[in-house]
Amino acid sequence: MIEPKPIRVLHIITRMIVGGAQENTLLSVEGLDRMPQYDVILLSGIDTGREGELLTRAQQTTKLIVLPQLARAISPFDELIVLRELYKIIRRGRYHIVHTHSAKAGVLGRLVAWLARTPIIIHTMHGVGFHDYQPWIINRSWKLVERLCAPLTDYFISVSDSTTEKAIAAKIDRREKFKTIYSGMELDWYLNAKVDGNAVRREFGIPEDAPVVGKVARLTYQKNHDKLIDAAPEIVRRHPNVRFFLIGDGPLHDRVQERIRQADIFENFVFAGLVDRSRIPEMISAMDMLVHTARYEGLARVLPQALAMGKPCVSLEADGAQEVIIPGETGYLVQPDDSAGLADAVSKVLSDKDLRRRMGENGRNLVDPMFRAETMVGQIAEVYEMLLQKYAKRIARFNKKTKKSVLTLNYPNIGQLSSTDDL
């Protein structure tokens, strides 16, 4: 019989596409499960698309439960199934901690964990579900939902100080229930990358002497490629040989390409499409700088990734970007509606090789160790330990009511979750 670890933890996320929240969650689960005190399970829905997926890696590196109905789209019938199945999973798993991620999984997961009397419930805010680009009624509805879920939540982890401040300003909960833990990554991939940027340029037909402005993002409304396209004609006028190197795919692929054709600058754009995440350091190595134009985002992981590779960044001043983009030091920030300002900032960086080198050095020094996966996992474990001590009586009552040991088998589906019978 395998001796069980003392603390059982369930992480719940809506989907495992290639994205910041998903990579954060996957690395958290992998890292925490390597600790002797935690037995960590990942539960995810299935949501396919052109963004790529991390479910395959999760199947290989985590104890994974797949709940297909836990998809991003709202479906009343599916939500009833999710509520029922989640309740069964949480009751059978006897989890001491349920830790939720993303909007839908955050709401349903916290509700069910509370109903199942889970001792400790944590929610990571990878951004806020409400923002200025939503219709008024949706914005207010999400704020109301988050406020209703707050009493069910023992603690919030935010991926940026900006996310924390927005949640507090919206009166989601008290400041003392929030902690910022920056989204960790496999930082050595970027700091110590042994890659040939010129080889990547040759692969994608980019002239070696062309200045390259990179953007790594899914082709979706949130990532706002339109803003880059708005600024691009002026950048091309100042730097005729410039190439905009776009990494990623998504539902707006055709629309983005059509806008570029209409602007008559298609030859200045290079579409790499969806590439394996292990190749992102190669892609960044081919760039002279990175631009980020998302409308809203907790803190885009590509910013510290690019800085770790010594690439200066120009970003719209949205959410957590200002926590890593220090104007004049690691890059420049531009107001969201200022296309001319974006063109000026990009052109300034492209025109000054010494400035790019200095900003790149500053960026490398800034992100390490702040964005290491090991740093993130250690800080999450500190939160767990703090809550386990704070709610020790809850844990004691919970352990007394449940069986003293649960033999973990494997987690390919609900039916093989554990050796114990349903409650």
On whether both 387 and 356 belong to a single domain, the answer is no
Side-chain-facing half-sphere of 237: CA atoms under 13 Å: 9
Bridge-partner residues for 334, per DSSP? 316
Evaluate whether residue 12 is within a structural domain: yes
In terms of domains, do 142 and 257 share one? no
Instruction: Note whether 352 and 209 are same-domain residues.
Output: yes
Judgement on whether residues 204 and 114 belong to the same structural domain of the protein? no
CA angle (77, 8, 419) in 5-degree steps: 75
Residues forming a β-bridge with 289: 213
* Residues 56 and 167 placed together within one structural domain of the fold: yes
The pLDDT of residue 49 is 66
220: containing domain: 188-367
- Residue 25 located in a structural domain: yes
pLDDT in the model for residue 142: 87
| 37 lies in the same domain as 144 | yes
Average per-residue pLDDT for the chain: 91
Domain boundary, last residue among 349, 367, 385: 367
In a domain, 1, yes or no: no
What is the per-residue pLDDT across 401-419, written as a single tens digit (0 to 9) for each? 876 444 343 434 433 333 2
Which residues fall within 8 angstroms of residue 143, CB to CB, at 6 or more apart? 130, 170, 171, 172
How far is the C-alpha of 52 from the C-alpha of 366, rounded, in Å? Answer: 29
pLDDT of residue 3: 60
Query: Rounded to the nearest 5°, which phi and psi values hold at 299?
Result: -165, 110
Q: Are residues 159 and 256 in the same domain?
A: no
Tell me the pLDDT tens digit for each residue of 279-309. 999 999 999 999 999 998 889 999 999 999 9
CA distances from residue 82 to 78, 112, 212, 240 in whole angstroms, order as listed: 6, 10, 46, 53
Count other C-beta atoms under 10 Å from residue 411's C-beta: 20
User: Are 96 and 370 a contacting pair, CB within 8 Å?
Assistant: no
- 133 with 219, same domain: the answer is no
pLDDT for position 47: 75
Number of folded domains that form the chain = 2
Q: What is the pLDDT of residues 343-392, one digit of tens each?
A: 999 999 999 999 999 999 999 999 999 999 999 999 999 999 999 999 99
Q: Is residue 58 part of a domain?
A: yes
**Given this model, what pLDDT does residue 153 score?**
98
pTM greater than 0.85:
yes
Q: Which of 35, 111, 154 is nearest to 395 (CA)?
A: 154
Residue-wise pLDDT for 169-211, tens only, equals 999 999 999 999 999 999 999 999 999 999 999 999 999 999 9
What CATH number did the domain enclosing 88 receive?
3.40.50.2000
Same domain, 161 and 93: yes
The average pLDDT across 215-244 equals 96
CA distances from 53 to 39, 47, 78 (A): 24, 9, 22
Number of C-alpha atoms within 13 angstroms, CB side, residue 419?
A: 10
Residue scoring higher pLDDT (320 or 352): 352
Closest Cα to residue 44, out of 108, 92, 130, 121? 108
Average pLDDT value for residue range 153-163: 96
Can you tell me the distance from the alpha carbon of 401 to that of 5, in angstroms, rounded to the nearest whole number? 18
Residue 281 lies in a domain: yes
List all residues 6 or more positions away from 386 whose beta carbon is below 8 Å from its beta carbon: none
Tens-place pLDDT, residues 41-80: 999 998 766 667 899 999 999 999 999 988 766 677 778 9
CA atoms within 13 A on the CB side of 360: 20
Do residues 379 and 302 both lie within one domain? no
Q: Give the span between the Cα atoms of 201 and 192, in whole angstroms.
A: 20
Considering the domain architecture, whether residues 48 and 152 belong to the same structural domain is answered as yes
Q: What are phi and psi of 313, to 5 degrees?
A: -125, 140
pLDDT band at 421 (very low <50, low <70, confident <90, very high): very low
The answer to the question of residue 319 being in a domain is yes
- Whether 422 maps to a domain, the answer reads no
Residues 45 and 72 in one domain: yes
**Per the domain annotation, does 423 fall within a domain?**
no
